[in-house]
Amino acid sequence: MALENRLKTPSRGRRAVFLDRDGCINAMVYNPDFGIVDSPYHPDQFTLLPGVAEAVRAINTMGLLAVVISNQPGVAKGKCTMGLLDAVTQKMRQELSNVGAQLDGVYYCLHHPEAVVQEYHRVCDCRKPAPGLLVQAARELDIDLGASYMVGDGVTDILAGQAAGCRTVWLGSLKNDISHVMVEMDAHPDLVAADLQEAVKRIQEETLIDTARRRES
């Protein structure tokens, strides 16, 4: 089924908070081999950002699904192996579990149009800003995209969330150059928060207001 048709398919499933990974859940790291700040490609490099575990636990307590949606082209670019990517994912899950928080799903796009590993060299519908991963998660986890949130610190996160029909939360500040980029790319976050912990508080506030309105109607 074509992606545009899948997006039109109605859903009355569960609500979710979709989370970008790098910069949202964990800290970025400096990669001396490439001279850039990049994703952690080894579990020893993986560190949860402050307040993230508490934020994910709050999502769990609210009864919403916590689902990671992330572009991870490291294997495609030859920067890490699939085994290392899996080890980083396991560490993320374990560190959250240690404080009573859990992820209900982890979805990665492994592709890249400039991949050096031929298996992953393609233009796909799952690499954000395309909404393919959110659509896949909605199908597999029975998620109502229209009642869910996409949270991230990248313009591509906002665009993917918009395309999937989610409410979107931008982590950062809409000042200076980034505001111009948002306008140019037609990215319009519904909420803005400094970090994931604040984002979840904003989602909690909206949920309480929505619940109160339903009771009054």
Question: What is the predicted pLDDT for the residue at 31?
Answer: 80
Q: Where are the beta strands (DSSP E) in 25-145?
A: 29-31, 36-38, 65-71, 105-109
Reply yes or no on whether 153 is catalytic.
Answer: no
Question: What is the predicted pLDDT for the residue at 33?
Answer: 77
Q: Where are the beta strands (DSSP E) in the chain?
A: 16-19, 29-31, 36-38, 65-71, 105-109, 149-152, 167-171, 191-193
Domain architecture of the chain: domains with CATH: 13-216 (3.40.50.1000)
Residue 31 bridge partners (DSSP): 36
Question: What is the predicted pLDDT for the residue at 1?
Answer: 32
Question: What is the predicted pLDDT for the residue at 216?
Answer: 82
Question: What is the predicted pLDDT for the residue at 10?
Answer: 42
Residue 193 bridge partners (DSSP): 171
Single out the catalytic residue among 22, 104, 153, 157.
22
Tens digit of each residue's pLDDT, the chain (217 residues): 334 433 444 447 999 999 999 999 999 998 887 788 899 999 999 999 999 999 999 999 999 999 999 999 999 999 999 999 999 999 999 999 999 999 999 999 999 999 999 999 999 999 999 999 999 999 999 999 999 999 999 999 999 999 999 999 999 877 666 777 888 899 999 999 999 999 999 999 998 888 788 788 7
Output the DSSP codes for 142-196: TB-GGG-EEEESSHHHHHHHHHHT-EEEEES---THHHHHHHHTT---SEEESSH
Question: What is the predicted pLDDT for the residue at 136?
Answer: 98
Question: What is the predicted pLDDT for the residue at 130?
Answer: 98
Reply yes or no on whether 20 is catalytic.
Answer: yes
Single out the catalytic residue among 20, 104, 153, 157.
20
